Amino acid sequence: MSKRSISNISWGLSLGRRLLLFQSFKQFTSWAACLALTIFFSKLIFDYISVDIESPVVFVMLIGLGSLVSVVIALPATFSFNRDDAAALDIFFENVKYLGYVDVGDVEPLVFCQKGPSFLRWDESDVYVYLNSETVTVTGPYSIIRRLRAQLHK
């Protein structure tokens, strides 16, 4: 079997833009609402089990920093591979579905979004597939792009 021609992963945004983390106001408000609910319910649980939080500021900062992981792994990245590799295309589309994505249209670019209600997902987590004449270019969240690319190397 010949080795597949697969590009390296590249970032979809400049370094300065990636440092801003949030790609849209909707993503920021969704993250902030989840953070507020997490802090609220954590406080309720700690009060119920009688745990005294010595430094509430540090507590809130740790929860905030921990929750930023979900934003960082959703930063856009891209890679491409040869379109004439039918086996690679099959493997790719199987893995997109395996990772919990559904096809939401037949027009180019092909768009795959996560299963579940729209209020629980970010548009920034969608995977876009561009079928060019010689290559397939895939853009989406870094964490998903990394896994899809790795499956093509197996």
Confidence band of 3 (pLDDT split at 50, 70, 90):
low
Q: State the total domains in the chain.
A: 2
Report pLDDT digits (tens) over 63-96: 888 888 888 888 899 999 988 888 888 999 999 9
Map residue 135 onto helix, strand or coil: strand
User: What's the whole-model pTM score?
Assistant: 0.77
- Do 149 and 80 lie in one domain? The reply is yes
Confidence band of 2 (pLDDT split at 50, 70, 90):
very low
Q: Which domain holds residue 94?
A: 76-153
- The CATH code of the domain that includes 107 is 3.30.310
- Do 30 and 80 lie in one domain? The reply is no
Order of strands, edge to edge, in the sheet holding 135-141? 10-11, 76-82, 135-141, 127-131, 110-114, 101-103
Residue 112 lies in a domain: yes
- Do 89 and 149 lie in one domain? The reply is yes
- Do 65 and 88 lie in one domain? The reply is no
Q: What is the structure's pLDDT at 70?
A: 83
Residue 100 lies in a domain: yes
Confidence band of 101 (pLDDT split at 50, 70, 90):
very high
Q: What is the structure's pLDDT at 148?
A: 94
Q: What are phi and psi of 151, to 5 degrees?
A: -65, -30
Compute the average pLDDT of residues 122-134.
88
